[in-house]
Amino acid sequence: MTTRIEATRLIPGRGNVVDNGVVIFADSAISYAGVANGAPETPDADVVSTDTVMPGMWECHGHFMGIYTANIDEVWTTRPQLAAMRVTADARRALHAGFTSVRELGGLGSFLSFAVEEGQVEGPNVYASGSALSMTGGHGDVHSMDLADARRAMIRAWGEDNVVDGPDEARAGVRRMLRLGARVIKIHASGGVLSQLDDPHLPQFSKEELEAIVDEATRMERIVAAHTHGKRGMMAAVEAGIKTLEHGTYIDEEVADAMIENDVMLVPTRWVIEFLMAEGEKRGMPEYAKKKAAAAAGQHAEGIALAVDKGVKMALGTDIFGVGLWGRNGEELALMVDCGMTPLQAIEMATANGPDTLGPQAPNTGQLVAGMDADVICISGDPSTDISLLGTPDNVTHVFKGGTRYKG
Ligand SMILES: [Zn+2]
């Protein structure tokens, strides 16, 4: 079966909008994408007419956790079997919202990726980190338990112990994530908001630990993604060779320059900050997190604006973590336009830039280009002039992943 999409406008992901565009695919790859004039004849094709055709979007920082509250401790008090059932619905929500790829940075994503690949769960392609490596007492440790229980809780919930100290353990931690099927290595290189006792300003992991993690990951052809808020943590992570910086709250000129020089991308996750400020209270966000979120919120928006201004390369990530929140991922694009991007820059961030957050593990997708995977969505309206359209799943009328139709 050949599919032919005829669109008022084709947004290729990278590059200019094409008026009167056509996209054709017969199997898992795109065979033509461009102006209608030059398109080959396809007499037997299934024809879809739409306002806008664009690549399927990439969520580059999400968590399939299967919890309802804004209190991460719910992970440890929820049976993992139940959480796993719940995330299958979140996977479907993401796909139907136009997200055909997800880089999952801590949660059940590695297991979900297998179930999606087997065709048993309808969802995006998932590229997961397993858990996220943390030093003892770091952002990924569970501060409400003794350490032995914290390790046990993590093994029970997401499959492997994530707490590592010293270069040798750090290296072993990378290997534990690989045995979960990790496609990217996630670490916590500073304190965080939704953890009790650590300070987002302070760096986590020593230089030797960071270098061991990067060395081991690089050898296994994985890049390292580093959760970091404070400046010292960001500089240390960038100098150690991480390739994506997550959140980046206290970015300044010096950090932005170092990122550009070292080819490091920013995944800013504005959505979660806005969400916690607006809805955290009614969703049981702990008192300590409220304080930390409020302290970071304004600075975070300014940091993103500075990074946009400096031309730091970015990919879209929301830090979405809860049941039923998945599907709202597209709200991030309008937030990026609020921070100074043009709509087309936000779309490039959400599509063409996504695969680059996986380094050598990147699939051939993210753009409407012949030969690339047929991950294609149709939009009612024109997101190049009204970016907020992409925040509402109902505006995503058709979703194709690998040439297979999942919506429309
Ligand atoms: Zn996160």
Please state the pTM of the whole predicted model: 0.97
If you measure from the C-alpha of residue 43 to the centroid of ligand 1, how many angstroms do you get, rounded to a whole number?
Answer: 47
* φ, ψ at 60 (rounded to 5°): -100, 5
Delineate the domains of the chain, giving CATH numbers in brackets: 3-56+366-407 (2.30.40.10), 57-361 (3.20.20.140)
| Average pLDDT taken over every residue of the chain | 96
Q: What is the pLDDT of residues 321-374, one digit of tens each?
A: 999 999 999 999 999 999 999 999 999 999 999 999 999 999 999 999 999 999
pLDDT for 254 equals 98
Residue type, 39: A
Dist CA 106 CA 118 (whole Å) = 21
* φ, ψ at 337 (rounded to 5°): -65, -35
pLDDT along the chain (408 residues), means of 10: 97 98 97 96 97 98 97 95 98 98 98 98 98 96 95 97 98 98 97 86 96 98 97 97 97 98 98 94 89 87 97 98 97 98 98 98 98 98 98 98 98
If you measure from the C-alpha of residue 44 to the centroid of ligand 1, how many angstroms do you get, rounded to a whole number?
Answer: 45
Catalytic residues: 186, 319
Q: Assess contact for 198 and 145: CB atoms under 8 A.
A: no
Query: Residue 52 corresponds to which tokens in the numbers above?
Result: 């806008």
Which residue from 283, 308, 373, 352 is spatially nearest to 69, judged by alpha carbons?
A: 283
If you measure from the C-alpha of residue 78 to the centroid of ligand 1, how many angstroms do you get, rounded to a whole number?
Answer: 19
Dist CA 103 CA 125 (whole Å) = 9
Distances (CA, A) of 96 to 41, 143, 328, 374, 408: 30, 36, 10, 16, 10
pLDDT for 116 equals 98
Give me the residue label for tokens 């919890």: 67
Q: What is the pLDDT of residues 279-318, one digit of tens each?
A: 999 999 988 888 888 888 889 999 999 999 999 999 999 9
pLDDT for 289 equals 84
If you measure from the C-alpha of residue 369 to the centroid of ligand 1, how many angstroms do you get, rounded to a whole number?
Answer: 31
Instruction: Name the DSSP letter for residue 108.
Output: S
If you measure from the C-alpha of residue 39 to the centroid of ligand 1, how many angstroms do you get, rounded to a whole number?
Answer: 42
Query: Residue 177 corresponds to which tokens in the numbers above?
Result: 């994530």
pLDDT for 290 equals 86
If you measure from the C-alpha of residue 132 to the centroid of ligand 1, how many angstroms do you get, rounded to a whole number?
Answer: 9
pLDDT for 227 equals 97
Q: Which residues have a beta carbon within 5 Å of ligand 1, which is an ion?
A: 319
Dist CA 19 CA 11 (whole Å) = 9
